[in-house]
Amino acid sequence: MLDLHGLTRDEIRVQFSRWRLSPVHADRLWYHLYLRCAASFDAMDDLPARVRARLAAEATLGPPRVAREMHSSDGFTRKFLLALAGAGQPVVETVLMRFTGRVTACLSSQAGCAMGCVFCATGQMGFQRNLTAGEIVAQAVHVARALQPRRDDDPQSRLRNIVLMGMGEPLLNYDAVMRAVEIMRDTAGFALGSDRITLSTVGIVPGIIRLASEPRPVHLAVSLHAATQEERAALVPPARKWPLDELMRACRHYSERTGRRIFYEWTLIEGKNDRESDARAVGRLLKGTRAQVNLIPLNPTAGYGGAPAGREAARHFQKILADEFALPSTVRQRRGIDIAAGCGQLAGAAGV
């Protein structure tokens, strides 16, 4: 069966040609997939019955089953636990976040994660499998559907940004992730610009090199969290395979090749990496590079006992980066902590 959400618009046109169906119907199907976000073939009522019958017989629309939906008390965040098809019916979590003037979807690229970052709930649960491109795209479609009915004059009723920062390591599912990006960028669909999609990696050096060589229209975010090899390896196990100096060479190569800055993510853990010495260490490491530092106060997980840095520590960290190293930084707005929807908190529940 064809997973329609895993096909580009051109591929759908080619398939319709093989079926000896008009390309006009192919374009109409695309409209239903990404502008109406139809959940069934029956909802595509302006397609001829014979077209809908062919689709029903040979293709899947693929909306994931919603096992659970949670609303945060912050009023801005919704989390969806989505059950996928296949052996064991793995589940992934997808988050809808509202900010001033925009809506962002945080998508998962894998069910679980093999990276084992000590403060991350997904890493604590282990790896199940890669997602297909269609399963990645279907998450975005689900968020867009949740925003309906859409009003063109309301920026909060339209999906505007995608962050591949959910469950999993995107660069270890590279081909599926990039196909999903291509589908979501189609100007006749979600029409997401290159400044609207951000991919976050724990530091998979071969993937960063590949991303630099192609190049792909996405922002790159790198989970740093420590400025020495020893400290980083204690928090981020992949650093043992790709040491900090090797990672930084790859990051400099990426910026030089693409002309893009990199967003370096720094989870602020009280008493561990939130001190003045830590701010100066990351300042020295990134000085002179195309960089912005995203400071993320630690979000609680059951498997890690650290505490988030306080507001004053975060502001002082920012001030050192700005005043001594001319490095821009932001403190990440916390969203959905009460429903475990924040960075590092996603972990699909079993048995749902």
Q: Could you identify the residue written with the tokens 């040609």?
A: 17
Is residue 251 part of the annotated active site? The answer reads no
DSSP 84: P
Six-digit token string for 268: 């602020």
Q: What beta strand segments (E) does the chain contain?
A: 2-3, 59-60, 65-71, 77-83, 91-99, 102-106, 110-112, 127-130, 161-164, 197-201, 219-223, 262-268, 291-297, 329-331
Maximum Cα–Cα distance for the chain, whole Å?
Answer: 68
CA neighbor of 308 nearest in space, from 320, 316, 296: 296
Six-digit token string for 112: 């679980």
Assign residue 285 a region (left: φ > 0; alpha: ψ between -120 and 50; beta: otherwise): alpha
Contact 146, 82 (CB under 8 A): no
CA angle 276, 281, 283 (to 5 degrees): 95
Among residues 93, 135, 169, 265, the one annotated as catalytic is 93
Identify any residues that bridge with 295 across adjacent strands, giving them in sequence order.
Answer: 266, 331
Among residues 37, 117, 120, 343, the one annotated as catalytic is 343
Is residue 230 part of the annotated active site? The answer reads no
Tell me whether strands 219-223 and 127-130 are parallel, antiparallel or unpaired: unpaired
* Phi and psi torsions of 139, nearest 5°: -65, -45
Which amino acid, residue 175? D
Tell me whether strands 77-83 and 91-99 are parallel, antiparallel or unpaired: antiparallel
User: What is the Cα–Cα distance from 105 to 330, expressed in whole angstroms?
Assistant: 19
User: What is the Cα–Cα distance from 257 to 319, expressed in whole angstroms?
Assistant: 30
**What is the per-residue DSSP string for 120-161?**
-HHHHH-EEEEPPHHHHHHHHHHHHHHTPSP-TT-GGGS--E
Catalytic residues: 93, 343
